[in-house]
Amino acid sequence: MGINIEQLQKTKPIKELLRFGIINIDKPSGPTSFAVSQYVSRSLKLTKTSHLGTLDPQVTGVLPVSLDRACRLSGFLMHRDKTYVGIMQLHDEVSDSRLNEVITKFLGTITQLPPVRSRVKRAEREREIKTFEILEREGKNVLFKTRVQAGTYIRKLIHDMGEQLGGAHMLELRRTEAGLFVEPCYNLYDFDKAVSVYKSGDDSLLRKMIVPGEIVSELYPVLELKKESVVRVLRGSPIFKRDILGKSDLERDEHAAVFTGEKFIGMYRAVNEGDVVLVPEFVFN
């Protein structure tokens, strides 16, 4: 079954969108990702918000902010490829052929040690650099575009390339894609205007900004729950074979988004133990 996200965005009551939605904010340079998330929370008077993937204060671009119950989807939405556009400044004169030679060495799986000021444990870890493309070059300034595995530090990547090029550092960086969320995104001025209009009784601008949390269905298999099973399942019961319309072909530990019609029930993990097909990870009630 397919879930019509655009239709849900248009027809769901605005209160429901605010309870279970995501706004794709265009983060400006300066504030932290946490500060932007908190700003959205205060402006909309929400209990909770969270951002899907931290950007350094100086970095701009795509910063999805989940609203209220949609914060529970963070683990299912965050760990996706990211795309960035930035400017690398070389410290020495480097030929195009030498630059491309070094870039090629960093494609594929690399080992990174997170920066000293990062919030994660400083231990080497593998990350995949999917693409690294030079868009334009003017002397020592190189405009690039790269697609990487989530959790890759672009500033560290540029520094490590620079060690083989006589030095390099990152001048500017912008995230253009974070999993399902891509440009164009909404800057804080757009957001403020939408909130102001909403408080005066018109939800049209704010509604256009909020992506229904049901968008998780675009990343995971969707299973249809029988209507007669909904009440029991919403109480936290596992899902049995008899509860599902059609067949479940999920492998053990694979995740699925469970719906009845277009009503989101929750995220489930396959166990395939006898008659028990799925157990709940997040039940939406």
Q: Which residue has the tokens 């009440």?
A: 231
33's enclosing H/E stretch is helix 33-44
Give the C-alpha separation, 204 to 196, whole Å. Answer: 11
Residues belonging to the active site: 56
Shortest CA distance to 206 belongs to which of 23, 36, 5?
Answer: 23
Strands (E), 52-196: 60-68, 82-90, 108-112, 125-138, 141-148, 168-178, 181-182
Cβ contact 90:140 at 8 Å: yes
Shortest CA distance to 181 belongs to which of 281, 278, 73, 267?
Answer: 73
Give Cα 223 distance to the centre of its chain.
23
- DSSP-derived 3-state class of residue 155: helix
Strands (E), the chain: 20-27, 49-51, 60-68, 82-90, 108-112, 125-138, 141-148, 168-178, 181-182, 210-212, 222-225, 239-240, 244-245, 255-260, 263-273, 276-283
Phi and psi dihedrals of 146, rounded to 5?
Answer: -140, 145
Which residues, including other chains, have CB under 8 Å from residue 158's CB and lie 6 or more apart? 86, 88, 168, 169, 170
Report the relative pairing of strands 60-68 and 108-112 from DSSP bridges. Answer: unpaired
